[in-house]
A and B are shown apart, each in its own frame.
Chain A
Amino acid sequence: MSGQRIDRQTTRIAGLILLAVLLGGCVNATVDEMTYNEPVAGIGESSVVILGRRHKPDYDTEFDFIECIGDHIHSGDPSIEVINEIAFINQFYPWFEPRTAPLQPQTIDRLLQLPPVAARFDEMKLEYMIWIDGNTENTESTGSMSCGIGPGVAGCFGFGTWGTESEYEATIWDFTDKVEVGRVSAQTSGQNYMPAVVVPIPIIAPVQGTACDSLGDQLLEYLSAFH
């Protein structure tokens, strides 16, 4: 009798796993773009820096997300030199800290009045500064899972699910003219599942990765002469 119940439960969990596998990995993405003054011939030997906004009280734009976008752009067009964010912030310390980072392109002029800052920018041949603002968050979660441990036995049983949402906006500043030349935004969301029959198997929706690819594609299209 109890064997039949376990069989039924196992079948139900297996069904849920199958459903989760089918649904897992499904991510909804919405991309918005508004750009102008595109560099038709590409950016030549100039460089680009991508920086995250971290002055808001409740979130920081993740360093690894910025790195992901930089890698995406560089792998799409190796001729585009993307300066590493942390190296850039350290080289310009203390002018790109959350407290001091310019919020408007016009305020860069004030930074350029400092001779060592102006000299370093010259060395870098910086053409575009791209600011990314946003983050990825887990949203509501449901389900239950219980885990147990005994002499020589351990395992979990149950099912859990939770959502993940990403919202990022990239603002492109033309560093030569000190003007904003575009905004690209990406909103993605997805559902994650964690069925557990002895061993929990997380099925994670690549929400942040999709946001990185979407934003990276748009930025690559803007910066590269070959896309």
Chain B
Amino acid sequence: MLCFTLLAAGCSTKQVVVEGNFPKPLLDPLPITLGVIYPSAFAEHEFFDEAKGRAESDWLVKTGEAQVEFWDILFDGMFDEVVHIRDWETVQRRAAEIDGVLIPAIGDLQYTIPTHTNVKIYEIWMRYEFRLVDIAAIHQQEDGALSFNPDERLAAWPITAYGKTPTAFLQTDEEAVNLAAVVALRDAGAHFVTSFGGTPDVAIWLDGIARREQDAARSSNDQVGDPQPVVDSAETSTAEGEPDSGEAL
């Protein structure tokens, strides 16, 4: 019975559904309305590694749910407004306000555990591919799914992330891999935040948005400068709750 258990343990699949508590970033949000599309390969991302020998186990690491949870929190803290684009109706309804659409993808994920390396550290390495496109580049396919033309993208850049955790007393392999994945996700967020504005194509896009806003502010100031009909106090008081166009910008 014991031998059978040991043999079965050697052949089993170790499964990790990555879970963690992710903090909100401490940032002044950028004045941008960002559309976000999580492709299904991203939102349901999982990584499977087949055992190389009888002494090893297969590994299945499911990161999809944690990815969506983590990036949602990060984007919410980083941008003024985030619009999740799940269907064509959202594209049509919100197109006018969306400054750009971000589409993350996981290019690669690698992991090591002490039995692979003889080093007492569990590691996870990820490479993301971020693509930023204009809302006009999003199209609807015949089956209703959304797609975009890669040639119409505003920016595309990779983000690498690394997470490690040392072995610890009474900690299982699964717990350690989960911890390393959470550290890698946090590192991905830190890398994204610190490199976002410095990515050349993103910087051009941000400059364009800032210029558009300045132009809009200037034109609204010009309108304010035009002779206006005199309004009585009653009209003024009713408009007090609403921001005027100058303040809103």
Q: Residues of A with Cβ closer than 8 Å to B?
A: 57-60, 62, 90-95, 97-100, 114-117, 120, 135, 149
Contact = CB atoms under 8 A, between A and B. Distances in A.
Contacts of B2: 149
A167 B190 CA distance: 29
A58 B190 CA distance: 21
B119 to A, nearest CB: 7
A93 B26 contact: yes
B25 A94 contact: yes
B23 A58 contact: no
A100 B26 CA distance: 13
Contacts of B26: 91-95, 114, 116-117, 120
Nearest to A137: B120
B28 A58 contact: no
B23 A59 contact: no
A93 B164 contact: no
B184 to A, nearest CB: 11
B186 interface: yes
A94 B25 CA distance: 6
A94 B194 CA distance: 9
Contacts of A120: 26
Contacts of B164: 57, 60
A93 B166 contact: no
A60 B165 contact: yes
B119 A98 contact: no
Closest A-B pairs by Cβ, 10 of them: A94-B190, A90-B23, A93-B23, A97-B190, A99-B190, A100-B190, A116-B26, A94-B193, A94-B189, A60-B166
Interface of B: 2, 21, 23-28, 119, 121, 164-166, 183, 186-187, 189-191, 193-194
Contacts of A95: 26
B191 A99 contact: yes
Contacts of B166: 59-60, 62, 135
Given A93-B26, A114-B27, A58 B165 contact: no
Contacts of A97: 186-187, 190
Contacts of A93: 23-26, 186, 189-190
Contacts of A98: 183, 187
A58 B24 contact: no
B194 A100 contact: yes
A58 B193 contact: no
A111 B119 CA distance: 35
Contact of A58 (B25, B27, B121): B121
Nearest to A100: B190
Contacts of B28: 114-116
Nearest to A87: B23
Nearest to B78: A94
Contact of B186 (A57, A94, A149): A94
Contacts of A135: 166
14 contacts: A57-B164, A59-B121, A60-B166, A91-B26, A93-B26, A94-B26, A98-B183, A99-B187, A99-B190, A99-B191, A114-B26, A115-B28, A117-B26, A120-B26
A39 B144 CA distance: 68
A19 B189 CA distance: 53
Given A97-B186, A98-B183, A149-B2, 4 more contacts: A57-B164, A60-B166, A94-B190, A100-B194
Contacts of B187: 97-99
Contacts of A99: 187, 190-191, 194
A92 B189 CA distance: 13
Nearest to A60: B166
Contacts of A92: 26
A135 B119 CA distance: 15
Given A58-B119, A60-B165, A100-B194, A91 B186 contact: no
Contacts of B186: 93-94, 97
